[in-house]
Amino acid sequence: MSDVCIVGIGIHPLGRTDGLSGVDQGVFAVRQALADAGVDWPQVQFAYGSSDAAGNPDTMVDRLGLTGVQFINVRNGCAAGGSALFSAQMAIKSGEFELGLAVGFDKHPRGAFNALPSEYNLPDWYGEAGYMVTTQFFAAKIMRYMHMFGISHQTLARVAEKAFRNGAHAPHAWRRQPVPIEEILAAPLVSDPYTKYMFCSPAEGGVALVLASEKKARELGKPLVRLKAATMRTRPPHSFEVFAPSVDVVADDSAPRGTATRIASADAFRLAGIGPGDIDVAQLQDTEAGAEIMHMAENGFCADGDQEGWLAEGWTEIGGTLPVNTDGGCLACGEPIGASGLRQVYENVVQLRGDGGGRQVPGHRRGGPKTAYSHVYGAPGVSAVTILER
């Protein structure tokens, strides 16, 4: 079976854009991606679109053109964009279509996300007790992880410092000013141990990717950026997840637990026929600094606790052994839920094309990065992983 290729990418800058709706930003990204691919909207045979708070993506056809195209909406928490991409690549792999679109956008109000218990099959008292406030859950989760595996506050701050330093070189990022590590550590606490610089913010933006069969990509004359694997998985039993914050008592509490991320990651590596050591650049979900740390291990790149040394030695920096979140991730870009997972893949295509500018990974091992990994995680325990190769 031939590979699915990404032949066009587009992005509307993330952050706050007064006067533009989420749909406006999504349409902007689609038009940019179509131009990048060298195709027109009537050539697009299908689309999958993701948005959480900014309306139904299929309404974009009013602006793009009423061609009768099959357009399916996807809503899957923070993994919505990754789920849209997974669905799009499956449509092409099936042989049904040759050219399609994955698009995501959102426009969230200021303040923390306001998820409703009923959306996750939870009773009202769960929200009334404050358990739907995700900043509290993630803080409790990393506090436990720090205690178990010896992760320091300094390491949390190093993640945030790297994010803002990388974001300064990404035109699409929201936070584009470096922040000294001393300022990150001294900033007001939001939920202990996280200061305000260690959380991302709900945001706005749009991302679009044009996908094609290998045959169609060659016809278009595009450089082949192959989608070697795309997986999306839900949580297994006994996992510790957003809106399912309980941990079973077991004999060896330090043993790695099954999670949606571990399952999706292992399946992606199996499909791609490579391992974690073969990845040149990675985008890992970092809604907060500790998430990047935990996801380094859950995705198989290191053992639990090794992150302390990795960050201290600079191994996840642009020129390090495994550059992580080269555009600053969610910490620098913010999180428009529908677009966030696609933003990671957009950044990986930029890296594989060698167009990253000041944030470009040198890929000294192979004359430029050849493999790129992205991982997104969302409530109530869903994860999507993609592996690209040029």
The domain that holds 331 is classified in CATH as: 3.40.47.10
State whether 252 and 331 are in the same domain. Answer: yes
Residue 120 within a domain: no
State whether 164 and 265 are in the same domain. Answer: yes
State whether 212 and 289 are in the same domain. Answer: no
The predicted pLDDT at position 293 comes to 98
The predicted pLDDT at position 265 comes to 97
Contact 340, 78 (CB under 8 A): yes
Which of 167, 188, 220 is the endpoint of a domain? 220
Which of 190, 220, 250 is the endpoint of a domain? 220
Domain housing 24: 4-111+205-220
Task: Give the list of residues 6+ apart from residue 250 with CB closer than 8 angstroms, or none.
Answer: 238
Most confident of 76-85, 105-114, 296-305: 296-305
Contact 375, 383 (CB under 8 A): yes
Which of 189, 220, 251 is the endpoint of a domain? 220
Residue 117 within a domain: no
**Beta-bridge partners for 206:** 12, 105
Residue 342 within a domain: yes
Residue 116 within a domain: no
Residue 62 within a domain: yes
Report the alpha-carbon distance of residue 25 to residue 22 in Å, rounded: 5
Contact 4, 93 (CB under 8 A): yes
pTM metric for this prediction: 0.94
Task: Give the list of residues 6+ apart from residue 66 with CB closer than 8 angstroms, or none.
Answer: none
The predicted pLDDT at position 255 comes to 57
Report the alpha-carbon distance of residue 326 to residue 170 in Å, rounded: 8
| High-pLDDT (> 70) share of the chain, % | 95
State whether 214 and 68 are in the same domain. Answer: yes
| Angle of helix 260-272 versus helix 289-298 axis, rounded to 10 | 50
pLDDT at 132 over 90: no
Residue 119 within a domain: no
What does the DSSP 8-state code read for residue 301?
A: S
Domain count of the fold of the chain: 2
Report the alpha-carbon distance of residue 230 to residue 386 in Å, rounded: 4
List pLDDT tens digits, range 231-278: 999 988 888 788 775 666 665 555 566 899 999 999 999 999 999 999
List pLDDT tens digits, range 156-212: 999 999 999 999 999 999 999 999 999 999 999 999 999 999 999 999 999 999 999
State whether 236 and 213 are in the same domain. Answer: no
Task: Give the list of residues 6+ apart from residue 56 with CB closer than 8 angstroms, or none.
Answer: 49, 73
Residue 243 within a domain: yes
State whether 210 and 195 are in the same domain. Answer: no
Phi-psi region at 347: left, alpha or beta (left = phi > 0; alpha = psi -120 to 50): alpha
- Binning the chain into helix, strand and coil, the percentages to the nearest 5 are 40, 20, 40
